[in-house]
């Protein structure tokens, strides 16, 4: 509540159909979905969801399936040519169990609920998941207290079947991994979240909703009592009674468009992954994670199997100079200028300079990253890995330089604001938690949107 006390009201959120996908690069989402099947001529809706990542798609899915006598007309608008092109399609694909998060926090609650909802959804919609489990490994005795803290928080968060195992237990599960103790989370899994997003959107379409692609929202305008007009960069318009904005890396910019405060601001942190070459794929069976440094919001470089049989190593966490640029040298002058003139980032930078420089070094000089990985799997060499994918995390930062850790819903208090709700911060594990977040969003906005 304290973040945006003046003009905007802010809530800290604490609190079937099977398809056979045909895959296409880059989003691994079925190409067939992107035929312009949407009925763009029908631009009048009850509710518009802005953003076709997993949070927007899950929210649309949840609302499209609310039991009602007169179904709502829903539309998802997405600026890209496909859904899930940003965080959702570029993450580790882990279904997290809820170990790390502060007991009692909304993040913890929604992750634990979200895991079950995600497995259920995937089963119902024919999306493959694998419960490959996860080991958080202490390599030295000094790391054991951190591991025990995680066991405590996981237990308080009601994560099921957590178990502390010793060096022998580690070898039984991961014969090539070394460590003195590990926390085993057997229900942690993997999935392709782009496919999940696709299935959610397909269900919305099946319920008579629309999905408009290449629709880059550039304005919100009041259309009179109970009406809102949303405009796109190319001149298209949709009309509705209310909108929920789930714009990930652009969430602060869209919030400002409807008169919310400019902070918290999104600062992108790129995560680069390496890939283990197929000949060495046998070295790792499930997820292997380090004991994270509690001072940082990122979980550390880890080993993660992919549903397609690949094995990813990463992600790093370095400041990105382009919110939606995924190459090492991608720079957006607009994004960089905004970051460098944001006092919050300068304050954050002065606090974490050493960590940041270390991450940058490992990011550019990958033998240094391999050295970190060898702490867990000593057999891995530089020749066994190659550069893979990258994803940018939308990290919300307050003007005081603090990293915003929990989910945030924000809404301006003027007439326009009464029709728009912004999800301003949906950090990891928001893909895992997406269906639980959607439930929370619906419960939160019900008072505001009487038509729901
Ligand atoms: C490297 C990395 C690893 C991660 N690993 C995991 C993991 O293993 N498990 C997990 O649970 N979570 C993970 N996460 C976190 C998770 O991916 C995100 O929390 C989640 O995907 C956020 O979803 P979203 O829908 O809010 O954002 P996004 O997926 O970024 O979607 C936002 C959408 O809004 C659209 N948009 C933006 N502006 C506009 C506009 N003006 N008009 C129309 N559309 C617009 C964008 O194009 C985009 O499609 C990871 C994230 C990263 C980056």
Has residue 182 got a pLDDT over 60?
yes
How far CA 84 is from CA of 29, 53, 80, 436, in Å, comes to 8, 5, 9, 18
> Quick check: is 121 in a domain?
no
Has residue 395 got a pLDDT over 60?
yes
Has residue 34 got a pLDDT over 80?
no
> Could you tell me if 405 and 107 are in contact, meaning their C-beta atoms sit under 8 angstroms apart?
yes
pLDDT tens, residue by residue, 306-319: 999 999 999 999 99
Has residue 97 got a pLDDT over 80?
yes
Asked if 394 and 436 sit in the same domain, the reply is no
Q: Residue 189, by phi and psi: left (phi above 0), alpha (psi -120 to 50) or beta?
A: beta
Give me ligand 1 centre to Cα 139, in Å. 32
Pocket residues: Cβ below 6 A from ligand 1: 50-56, 77-80, 85-88, 90-94, 96, 215-217, 246-250, 254, 271, 315, 391-393, 426-432
> Quick check: is 171 in a domain?
yes
pLDDT tens, residue by residue, 373-384: 999 999 999 999
pLDDT tens, residue by residue, 321-363: 999 999 888 999 999 999 999 999 989 888 888 788 888 888 7
> Quick check: is 127 in a domain?
no
> Quick check: is 163 in a domain?
yes
Q: Which domain holds residue 395?
A: 265-403
Helix, coil or strand: residue 155:
helix
Has residue 238 got a pLDDT over 50?
yes
Asked if 349 and 333 sit in the same domain, the reply is yes
pLDDT reported for residue 31: 40
How far CA 389 is from CA of 224, 326, 369, 386, in Å, comes to 46, 8, 15, 10
Q: What are phi and psi of 82, to 5 degrees?
A: -140, 160
> Quick check: is 230 in a domain?
yes
> Quick check: is 436 in a domain?
yes
CA 421 – CA 242 distance, rounded (Å)? 8
Ligand 1 pocket test, pick from 91, 219, 435 with the greatest ligand atom count within 8 Å of Cβ, gives 91
Domain count, the chain: 3
Domain with residue 386: its CATH number is 3.30.9
Give the nearest ligand 1 atom to 55 CA.
25
Instruction: Give me the chain's average pLDDT, please.
Output: 89
Give me ligand 1 centre to Cα 52, in Å. 9
Give the nearest ligand 1 atom to 54 CA.
25
> Quick check: is 43 in a domain?
yes
Asked if 72 and 197 sit in the same domain, the reply is yes
Asked if 352 and 269 sit in the same domain, the reply is yes
Let me know if 22 is exposed, middle or buried by CB neighbors in 10 A (0-12, 13-18, 19+): exposed
Ligand 1 pocket test, pick from 38, 121, 212, 248 with the greatest ligand atom count within 8 Å of Cβ, gives 248
Has residue 215 got a pLDDT over 90?
yes
Most confident of 24-38, 173-187, 308-322: 173-187
Confidence of residue 42 (pLDDT cuts 50, 70, 90): low
* Residues in CB range of 379: below 8 A, 6 or more apart: 176, 280, 283
Give me ligand 1 centre to Cα 200, in Å. 15
- Mean pLDDT over 49-64 rounds to 98
Has residue 16 got a pLDDT over 60?
no
Most confident of 24-33, 273-282, 406-415: 273-282
pLDDT tens, residue by residue, 407-445: 899 999 999 999 999 999 999 999 999 999 999 999 999
Confidence of residue 406 (pLDDT cuts 50, 70, 90): confident
Confidence of residue 33 (pLDDT cuts 50, 70, 90): very low
Asked if 280 and 386 sit in the same domain, the reply is yes
């Amino acid at each position: 509540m304290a973040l945006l006390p003046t003009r905007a009201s802010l809530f800290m959120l604490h609190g079937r159909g099977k398809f056979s996908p045909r895959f296409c690069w880059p989003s691994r989402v079925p190409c067939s979905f992107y035929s312009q099947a949407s009925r763009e001529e029908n631009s009048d809706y009850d509710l518009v969801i802005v953003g076709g990542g997993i949070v927007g798609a899950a929210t649309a899915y949840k609302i499209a399936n609310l039991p009602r006598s007169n179904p709502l007309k829903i539309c998802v608008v997405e600026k890209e040519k496909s859904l899930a092109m940003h965080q959702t399609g570029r993450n580790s694909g882990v279904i997290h169990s809820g170990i790390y998060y502060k007991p009692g926090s909304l993040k913890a609650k929604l992750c634990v609920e979200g895991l079950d909802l995600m497995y259920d959804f995937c089963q119902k919609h024919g999306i493959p998941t694998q419960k490959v489990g996860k080991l958080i490994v202490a390599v030295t005795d000094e790391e054991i207290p951190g591991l025990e803290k995680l066991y405590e928080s996981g237990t308080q968060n009601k994560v099921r079947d957590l178990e502390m195992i010793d060096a022998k237990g580690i070898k039984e599960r991961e014969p090539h991994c070394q460590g003195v103790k590990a926390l085993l989370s057997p229900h942690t899994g993997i999935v392709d979240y782009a496919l999940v997003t696709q299935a959610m959107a397909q269900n919305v379409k099946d319920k008579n909703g629309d999905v408009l692609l290449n629709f880059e929202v550039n304005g919100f305008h009041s259309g009179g009592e109970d009406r809102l007009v949303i405009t796109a960069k190319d001149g298209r318009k949709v009309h509705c009674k209310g909108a929920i904005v789930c714009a990930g890396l652009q969430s602060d910019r869209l919030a400002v468009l409807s008169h919310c405060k400019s902070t918290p601001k999104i600062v992108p942190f790129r995560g680069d992954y390496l890939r283990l070459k197929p000949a060495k794929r046998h070295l790792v069976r499930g997820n292997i994670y380090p004991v994270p440094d509690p001072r940082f919001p990122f979980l550390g470089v880890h080993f993660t199997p992919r549903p397609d049989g690949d094995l990813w190593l990463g992600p790093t966490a370095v400041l990105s100079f382009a919110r939606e640029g995924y190459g090492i040298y991608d720079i957006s002058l607009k994004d960089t200028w905004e970051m460098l003139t944001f006092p919050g980032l300068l304050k954050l930078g002065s606090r974490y300079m050493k960590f940041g420089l270390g991450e940058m070094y490992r990011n550019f000089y990958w033998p240094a990253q391999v050295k970190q990985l060898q702490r867990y799997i000593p057999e891995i060499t530089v020749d066994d890995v190659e550069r893979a994918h990258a994803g940018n995390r939308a990290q919300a930062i307050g003007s005081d330089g603090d990293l915003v850790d929990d989910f945030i819903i924000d809404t301006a208090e003027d007439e326009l604001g009464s029709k728009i709700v912004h999800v301003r911060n949906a950090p990891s594990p928001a893909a895992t938690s997406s269906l639980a977040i959607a439930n929370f969003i619906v419960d939160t906005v019900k008072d505001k949107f009487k038509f729901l």
